[in-house]
Amino acid sequence: MSQMEGRASSAAPVLRNVLVGMLVVIAVVLQLSVAPAFAIRGITPDLALLVVLAVALSRGGQAGLVTGFAAGVLLDLAPPADHTAGRWALALLIVGYVAGRVREGSVGESRSHGGQGRPNATTVMATVSTCAFIGVSIFAVSGLILGEAPLTLLPTVAISVGYDLLLAPLLIPALLWLIGKGDS
Amino acid sequence: MSLLSPRPSERLRKGLEQRKGPKPKVRTPRERLNRRGSLETKPGGGGPKRTWLIALILCCATLATLDQTPVLEPARAAVGEVISPLETGAALVARPFTDIPEWFDTRDDLRDRVAKLEAENSTLRRQVEVTDYGRAKLAEYESITRAAEDLGYSMVPARVTAYGPAQTFRRTVTIDAGSAAGIRSDMSVVTGDGLVGRVLRVTKTSATVLLIVDAASVVGGRVGGEDRSGKKSGQVGMVRGSGVVAGSGLLTLDLVDRSTAPLKGDTVITWGDGRAAPYVSGLPIGEVTDSFESVRDSSQTARIKPYVDFGSLDVVGVVVPGGTMSDRAVITPEGELR
């Protein structure tokens, strides 16, 4: 779907959408194959969520929405997954949406204060923690509603958010740089 | 202009797009970008649109609903076909990095692990060491069970706990079953191999057994009880002990009928009426090694090699009448525990 959006303009947006797509696939593959080696009590970092966040922060809510949905569907269907499809899709599209709103808010604000128009580090970290919490919670609660998750959600969600926060300072700047590179 | 307040512009763009499609939306930020000459100054390249949000959420709901049926299985399979090789490759490439968490094992962790493994090791070694003994014991219990089956008597299993000293010149052992186990004096004691002796006296928890190799022991014996060719008529005699526990010629058989000489290798079994003490009938004693005639006594004597190794008695069975009340399991003639 992001492809379609890209084709609307010139060749460069196609390229950058391909870049985002590749980032999403790489994140999903790494999250499923490599991240479990670094799991804390079985909880792996949500790399796909961070990629969606980065896309939403640099491109806005619309791109975040679509990327989140695509990454979520991929996570829902990729091999070890056995949960009801659509749970990660819902969680990540909301994450993309919320992060996009935060970005618009912060960009507008910084512009009005004569800033550079880029969300600053504090905003990014606040967004990461909020969105990680929202995303993991939506996934967990939807599991609860569908009867697929145990009742002791909070420790899992807390560790997951903590892990994402830990990785965010390492990954988000690199991802923003990469996506910015693709946008230029 | 609209940079200061993104919301009106967003609404405007939304209206635009509804009429003309996404083209103007994407082009507008690019124009702005070029004018400013900076990467970061693009305003929200397409702010989130309610319709998209709602549509995609509905998509999620549809997916979740579809997943209740097997409709999504082909999609799952297709994604798996593509993603699985990537996952395998990534895991392969990342193996050096996935080992990194092990680098942070502390010395204490490793020491703990070594201690745990050493403890486990010694436990396992001890188990291995006693395995042979356990297996031998099991074999003896099994042979007792088999003997009960073969001989058709009920038995109480017991273990030899003490040997009488040689300087008393009585060949006795103590077993760990007594009157509480249903044992009375004059009962026969056997192993899986054959006759051991008879119970001399009983306490509540133990019994003293007179071995058949004792010099004072006399057992009624019958040669060739298991008559094969019909030639042997089952001569009877008295089996006496020699008083020594090991070596050859432990037992001698004095035959009543001196005109017949038992052949080497003939089996000697007990004779009796099957119910009465001291010895029930049909218990194997040993086999004939040689025989000689005593002119003075006008009798025929045969040397018997007992089946039982009296030097290594461990598990024995005491032949008890059927229906004996016992504080331990009784092996029935059917080979079952009762």
- Closest CA of chain A from B145, distance in Å: 53
Q: Which of A57, A66, A77, A148 to mutate to test the interface with B (most CBs of B within 10 A)?
A: A77
Q: Which of A131, A134, A125 is nearest to A173 (CA)?
A: A125
**Is B58 an interface residue toward A (CB < 8 Å)?**
no
Rg, Å, chain A Cα set: 16
Separation CA A6–CA B8 (nearest Å): 24
Q: Note the ipTM here.
A: 0.73
User: Between A155 and B48, whose confidence is greater?
Assistant: A155
Q: Of B192-196, B260-264, B319-323, which range is least confident?
A: B260-264
DSSP 8-state secondary structure symbol assigned to residue B298: T
Q: Is the pLDDT of residue B275 over 80?
A: no
Which of B48, B97, B101 is the closest to A65 by Cβ?
Answer: B48
Q: Which of B41, B56, B73, B93 to mutate to test the interface with A (most CBs of A within 10 A)?
A: B56
What domains appear along chain B, each with residue ranges and CATH number? 6-36+48-93 (no CATH), 137-320 (2.40.10.340)
User: Between B168 and B239, whose confidence is greater?
Assistant: B239
Separation CA B12–CA B23 (nearest Å): 14
CATH topology assigned to domain A2-183: Arp2/3 complex 21 kDa subunit ARPC3 (1.10.1760)
Q: Is the pLDDT of residue B21 over 60?
A: no
With tokens 């190794």, the residue in question is: B309
Q: Which of B193, B180, B204, B188 is nearest to B154 (CA)?
A: B188
Q: Which of B292, B298, B279 is nearest to B252 (CA)?
A: B292
| Contacts for B113 with CB less than 8 Å, ≥ 6 apart | none
Residue-wise pLDDT for B172-194, tens only, equals 888 888 888 888 888 889 888 88
Residue-wise pLDDT for A54-95, tens only, equals 888 888 778 888 888 889 888 888 877 777 888 888 888 888
Q: What is the pLDDT of residue A113?
A: 54
Separation CA B272–CA A110 (nearest Å): 115
**Is B264 an interface residue toward A (CB < 8 Å)?**
no
Q: Is the pLDDT of residue B78 over 50?
A: yes
Exposure string for B24-44, b = 16+ CB within 10 A, e = fewer: ebbebbbebbeeeeebbbbbb
In this complex, do A85 and B64 lie within 8 Å of one another by their Cβ atoms?
yes
> pLDDT-derived band of residue B312, with 50, 70 and 90 as boundaries?
confident
Sort out which chain B residues have CB atoms less than 8 A from A38's CB and list them.
Answer: 98, 100-101
User: For residue B117, how far is the Cα from the chain centroid?
Assistant: 23
Nearest CA in chain B to A56: B44
In this complex, do B44 and A33 lie within 8 Å of one another by their Cβ atoms?
no
Contact yes or no for B164/B336 (Cβ under 8 A): no
Q: Which of A58, A75, A160, A20 is nearest to B60 (CA)?
A: A75
- Closest CA of chain B from A149, distance in Å: 15
Separation CA B176–CA B193 (nearest Å): 20
Residues B91-97: contacts with CB under 8 Å, at least 24 apart: B91/A33, B91/A34, B94/A30, B94/A33, B94/A34, B94/A37, B97/A34, B97/A37
In this complex, do B47 and A60 lie within 8 Å of one another by their Cβ atoms?
yes
The domain limits of chain A are: 2-183
- Closest CA of chain B from A85, distance in Å: 5
Look at residue A137 and give its three-state secondary structure: helix
Q: What are phi and psi of B211, to 5 degrees?
A: -75, 155
In this complex, do A117 and B91 lie within 8 Å of one another by their Cβ atoms?
no
- Stretch B82-103: mean pLDDT: 80
- Closest CA of chain B from A172, distance in Å: 15
Separation CA B157–CA B152 (nearest Å): 15
pLDDT, averaged across chain B: 76
Whether the upstream peptide bond of residue B74 has omega within 30° of 0, thus cis, is no
In this complex, do B83 and A28 lie within 8 Å of one another by their Cβ atoms?
yes
Residue type, B295: V
With tokens 């009590």, the residue in question is: A41
- Stretch B194-206: mean pLDDT: 88
Look at residue A1 and give its three-state secondary structure: coil
Separation CA B188–CA B314 (nearest Å): 16
**Is B248 an interface residue toward A (CB < 8 Å)?**
no
Q: Is the pLDDT of residue B286 over 60?
A: yes
Q: Is the pLDDT of residue B33 over 50?
A: no
- Closest CA of chain A from B72, distance in Å: 8
Q: Is the pLDDT of residue B116 over 90?
A: yes
- Stretch B7-15: mean pLDDT: 52
Residue-wise pLDDT for A1-46, tens only, equals 444 444 444 456 777 788 888 888 888 888 888 877 777 777 888 8
For chain B, positions 62-81, list CB contacts with chain A under 8 A.
62-64, 66-68, 72, 75-76, 79-80
> pLDDT-derived band of residue B35, with 50, 70 and 90 as boundaries?
very low
What DSSP line would sit under A142-183, residue for residue? HHHHTT-S-S--HHHHHHHHHHHHHHHHHHHHHHHHHHHHHH
> pLDDT-derived band of residue B277, with 50, 70 and 90 as boundaries?
low
In this complex, do A107 and B6 lie within 8 Å of one another by their Cβ atoms?
yes
Q: Please write down the HEC assignment for all residues of A4-19.
A: HHHHCCCHHHHHHHHH
Q: Is the pLDDT of residue B226 over 90?
A: no
**Is B8 an interface residue toward A (CB < 8 Å)?**
no
* H or E stretch at B6: helix B6-20
Q: What are phi and psi of A42, to 5 degrees?
A: 80, 0
Separation CA B298–CA B254 (nearest Å): 10
Q: Is the pLDDT of residue B263 over 90?
A: no
Separation CA B291–CA B226 (nearest Å): 19
Q: What is the pLDDT of residue B47?
A: 53
Which of B5, B44, B61 is the closest to A61 by Cβ?
Answer: B44
Q: Which of A98, A141, A99 is nearest to A124 (CA)?
A: A99
Which of A59, A79, A117 is the closest to B41 by Cβ?
Answer: A117
> pLDDT-derived band of residue B123, with 50, 70 and 90 as boundaries?
very high
Residue type, A167: L
- Stretch B152-173: mean pLDDT: 80
Rounded to 5°, the CA angle A161-A164-A165 comes to 85
- Stretch B317-337: mean pLDDT: 80
Dihedral sign, CA of B266, B271, B275, B279?
negative
**Percentage of the residues of chain B whose pLDDT score is greater than 70:** 77
With tokens 């004059």, the residue in question is: B186
Sort out which chain B residues have CB atoms less than 8 A from A78's CB and list them.
Answer: 79-80, 83, 87
Separation CA B53–CA B270 (nearest Å): 99
Separation CA B2–CA B16 (nearest Å): 15
Q: What is the pLDDT of residue B272?
A: 73
Question: How many Cβ atoms are within 10 Å of A173's Cβ, its own excluded?
Answer: 13
Count CA atoms closer than 13 A to B128's CA, side-chain side: 6
Q: Which of B31, B63, B68, B93 to mutate to test the interface with A (most CBs of A within 10 A)?
A: B63
Sort out which chain B residues have CB atoms less than 8 A from A101's CB and list them.
Answer: 48
In this complex, do A117 and B64 lie within 8 Å of one another by their Cβ atoms?
no
